[in-house]
Amino acid sequence: MFSNYEATPEDEDEIIRRVAEEVHKRGMEIPAIIMLETLNPLSFMGATMGRLFLSPVLPALGEDLGMKGEIVLQVFEKHSNIEKLISLIEAMTKEEKTNKAPSREEGKEDKSKKGWRRFLPF
């Protein structure tokens, strides 16, 4: 729908950074890296399917949302951007491990949440 708009490299870097920060904030680095590595060969096809199914719906929710959705699809249809995202997530994880001071609370788990539910923010 917005095929005449090309995402600039600055837009791409900003979107990749924001996605990496959200993944890191939620503590989902390992599952995200596994998923991205697995689905990287299918990224172009996934973006095409997203355009097919989401492009008619997003402008109905607002012109701004429709444009941002098209930009995100453009960014993540490139294999190089997926690799940049994986590298950024790994760098954030390494940085946190080096900056993290050992504490007494380390090693204690939250026993109230078990399994995959411990990853949910609520």
Question: Would you state the torsion angle of the CA atoms of residues 71, 76, 77, 80, taken in this order, to the nearest 10 degrees?
Answer: 120
Of the pLDDT bands very low, low, confident and very high (cuts 50, 70, 90), residue 23 is very high
The reported pTM is 0.71
* Least reliable range by pLDDT among 24-28, 76-80, 94-98: 94-98
Q: What is the mean pLDDT of residues 36-48?
A: 89
Q: What is the mean pLDDT of residues 70-87?
A: 90
pLDDT in tens, 82-121: 999 999 999 999 988 888 756 545 555 556 666 777 777 7
Q: Which of 39, 46, 52 shows the shortest CA–CA distance to 75?
A: 46
In the chain, which residue ranges form alpha helices assigned H by DSSP? 9-25, 29-39, 43-54, 58-61, 63-76, 79-99
Ranked by mean pLDDT, which of 2-16, 18-32, 59-73, 88-102 comes out on top? 18-32
